[in-house]
Amino acid sequence: MGYTHSSRDASLPAETVRVTVDREYLDLTVDEWMDQLDAAEPYVLAWVSPRVNLQGAKLTTSRGRPDPYWKDALREANPGRT
């Protein structure tokens, strides 16, 4: 999984963020999301979640506290694991 911004990839429309999972991608443009920023995160999470396999995955804490959404998703995908 990864992401890039149009400032780093000239093939993207201006002011666009592209989220990529395997060979699928989701483009988020400023024009579409400017007035809906509160809805953007749940929208992206709902798109990414079915595209990633979390079985056997582990959280890394090198960048602070883990995101609660992914922490719960990992716990659900790996029952009995601490």
- Enclosing domain of residue 29: 1-51
Asked whether residue 23 carries a pLDDT value surpassing 80, the answer given is yes
| 70 and 40, same domain (yes or no) | no
| 38 and 12, same domain (yes or no) | yes
| 33 and 2, same domain (yes or no) | yes
| 43 and 7, same domain (yes or no) | yes
| 59 and 38, same domain (yes or no) | no
pTM for the whole thing?
0.74
Round to whole Å and give the CA distance between 80 and 4: 35
H/E/C letters for each residue in 37-74? HHHHHHHHHHHHHHHCCCCCCCCCCCCCCCCHHHHHHH
| 3 and 30, same domain (yes or no) | yes
Q: From the centroid of its chain, how far is CA 19? A: 7
CB 48 within 8 A of CB 21: yes
Mean pLDDT (the chain) is: 89
Q: What is the pLDDT of residues 46-69, one digit of tens each?
A: 999 999 998 988 877 667 777 788
